[in-house]
A and B are shown apart, each in its own frame.
Chain A
Amino acid sequence: MGIKETIEGSFHIIGGDFSRAGEASTEIKTLLQSLGISKEIVRRAAIATFEAEMNIIIYTPAGILRYEITPERIRIIAEDMGPGIEDIELAMQEGYSTAPEWVRELGWGSGMGLPNMKKNSDEFRIDSVVGEGTTVEMIIYLDKSENKN
């Protein structure tokens, strides 16, 4: 199955619901695989999407994860309802995290989420307003890898 027109969808993610963590990313990954997108692109998209999904679960009351797939690119937008990030530059530094102790004990909150998202995207944008929320936009181009599975 190839991509002929834009395929889009969205997931509502509830903050604090660790029991459903990964559901949205898994669905997106399965969809990308079914479209015959190369393994390497699927791998990068899965990492970026999963980290975005986890950030909504760990840090916010709720958010929406949207995807849009065209023959040229995958676009993922994660939009949440707060609390917003005070210092984005600091938040983008690998190892920096504001996660509470109990979240760290689960192996989350190691300060790798945002850097992982950036690393695995071709384009990465983040906007945040304290008290309102954060929006992350990630674009991954499809023509970078020629090895189809």
Chain B
Amino acid sequence: MTLQELKEKLSLNILTEGGQLDRQVTGGYVSDLLSDVMANAKEGDVWITLQTHLNIVAVASLKGISGIIIVNGRRPDDETLRKASEEGIPILGTDETAFEISGRIYKILNDA
């Protein structure tokens, strides 16, 4: 499943420019603790979080995260979006909660 397909199925908003939406999503990880993501997320995971500050980009980039989904309608600051575009890490947004969006992604990935 590509990030583009996931975006369409879930009506996610793409917040970064020129993102690589052809990336494969192989799983997901939900956490707002950055060291937890460093320790436990896997390469190819989509990362679901409410954190919006700059450091999420470095964590995602180091871990080989396929994309970041920001929940609860939160919007990252411009600095985060600029950095993410630079690093080629797509950031997507949803008004849903982490619970709702994770449940839907889990189902989609398992049915795929």
Residues of A near any B CB (own CB < 8 A): 18-19, 21-23, 25-26, 29, 43, 46-47, 50-51, 54, 106-108, 110, 112-113, 116, 119
Q: Nearest chain-A residue to B55 (Cβ)?
A: A21
How would you classify the secondary structure of chain B's contact residues: helix, strand, loop or mixed?
Answer: helix
**Chain A residue with the shortest CB-CB distance to B87:** A26
**Across the interface, do B39 and A112 meet the contact criterion of CB distance under 8 Å?**
yes
Is the CB–CB distance between B79 and A29 below 8 Å?
Answer: no
How near does chain A come to B97, taking the closest CB pair, in angstroms? 17
Task: Categorize the interface residue count of chain B.
Answer: 20 to 34
Say whether B38 contacts A51, CB under 8 Å. Answer: yes
User: Is A21 a contact of B35 with CB atoms below 8 Å?
Assistant: no
Whether B51 sits at the interface, judged by CB under 8 Å, is yes
Closest A residue to B39 using CB positions: A116
B64 CB → nearest A CB, Å: 9
Interchain nearest-CB distance for A8 vs B (Å): 21
B108 at the interface (CB under 8 A from A): no
A22-B33 in contact given A112-B39, A116-B38 (Cβ < 8 Å): no
